[in-house]
Homo-oligomer: A and B are copies of this chain.
Amino acid sequence: MPDISNRGRQMPASPIRKLAPLSDAAKARGIKVYHLNIGQPDLPTPASALNAIRDMDRATLEYSPSDGYRFYRENLVKYYASFDIDVTADEIIVTAGGSEAVLYAFMACLNPGDEIIVPEPAYANYMAFAISAGAVIRTVPSTMETGFALPAIGEFEKLINDRTKGILICNPNNPTGYVYTREEMEKIRDLVEKYDLYLFSDEVYREFIYNGTPYFSACHLKGIEEHVVLIDSVSKRYSECGIRIGCLITKNRALHDTVMKFCQARLSPPLIGQIAANASLDAGEQYMNETFLEYKNRRDFLIERLNAIPGVYSPKPEGAFYTLARLPVEDADAFCTWCLSDFSYDRQTVFMAPASGFYVTPGLGRDEVRIAYVLNNEEMDRALTVLEKALQAYPHTKK
């Protein structure tokens, strides 16, 4: 049989999805599985989006332009203006989710062997996309003890060498919930300018900042406008992960035109998704407020409840809708697997994402899990009862 590629071998299995077959098997045994593993909101998609899909009056579902419909990009310009982000429709490329935006950003910017610096823990799929492009992720560790604050900027600088091409941040952060301060962002700015780097900034959770900190975008940084590559997605904002619509924004014309060549090769982003995403911009203030308050409330509930379980600790995330929790186990991978394959309480179990997959440095995060607070508090309460019972029943829990 012909070999598979080296990059295919190196690709990590998603820590969020790799245990899905065990979850399916548990469900097949009649077990109710609480999905804490995946950022799949249970909140409703805006009615404006659902109506736009229903009312779509097209006889042929045709290709859209490779960079997405202009009407949608022009509406996005207004959306970004409301965050004081100044972009034009020609600087926006609509992509199949934020995922495609990250992949093409890496493909267009990074040569095999090029390095990017990423604070860890980080969204696991960045690693997968870096491997796809043959690039290398170097990490500066942030720790639970400091609430996952950005490491001292000197830690970034230590890693910079001839192969360093960029810095990647996710702000508000998945999986830690950390929100970068303006001061931290400006230190990153200085590095980007000093070493002539790209700054990839994934800001898909900008609506979900719970600590009153103002949202400070990479696009607000002065003097590095052409270095910034903004990654965005409507998935979480409007609870419409399935429509696969995101975008990549750059003021760097050469980069824009290069990304467009990748986009032309894949022809176009999803048509119906663009119609839904465009209509979602009319979701309204009430929808956005209710969504915000719901997640804030869930966060408060989850963190208090988690920290009340003996041996469990989670800092309070400031944004997004994830938290990293430390469990009283040696190996959270084994524990998460066991929960799905060997445990149930009252015919229920929990599906959590082992945190090890969010770290690059071997050994880090081994006793941590990522929990997405995408269940309502009633369901979350039951899920946490199940987690508590699981920790009591697990033979390897540290007492």
Contact = CB atoms under 8 A, between A and B. Distances in A.
B18 A264 contact: yes
Contacts of A64: 242
B56 A97 contact: no
19 contacts: A1-B227, A2-B197, A4-B258, A8-B259, A17-B264, A18-B264, A44-B59, A45-B59, A50-B58, A53-B54, A96-B244, A112-B112, A125-B264, A125-B267, A128-B262, A134-B134, A242-B272, A244-B267, A270-B273
Contacts of A22: none
B261 A63 contact: no
A54 B13 CA distance: 36
A230 to B, nearest CB: 16
Nearest to A44: B59
Given A2-B109, A61-B242, A96-B244, 15 more contacts: A5-B107, A5-B111, A8-B109, A11-B261, A11-B265, A61-B240, A63-B242, A96-B270, A99-B265, A103-B266, A107-B132, A129-B265, A241-B268, A243-B271, A244-B269
- Kindly report how many copies of this chain are found in the complex they form together: 2
A272 B109 contact: no
Contacts of A12: 261
B255 A242 contact: no
A125 B265 contact: yes
A399 interface: no
A206 interface: no
B241 A61 contact: yes
Interface in A1-29: 1-9, 11-14, 16-18, 20
A1 B229 CA distance: 13
A121 interface: no
A245 to B, nearest CB: 9
Nearest to A198: B2
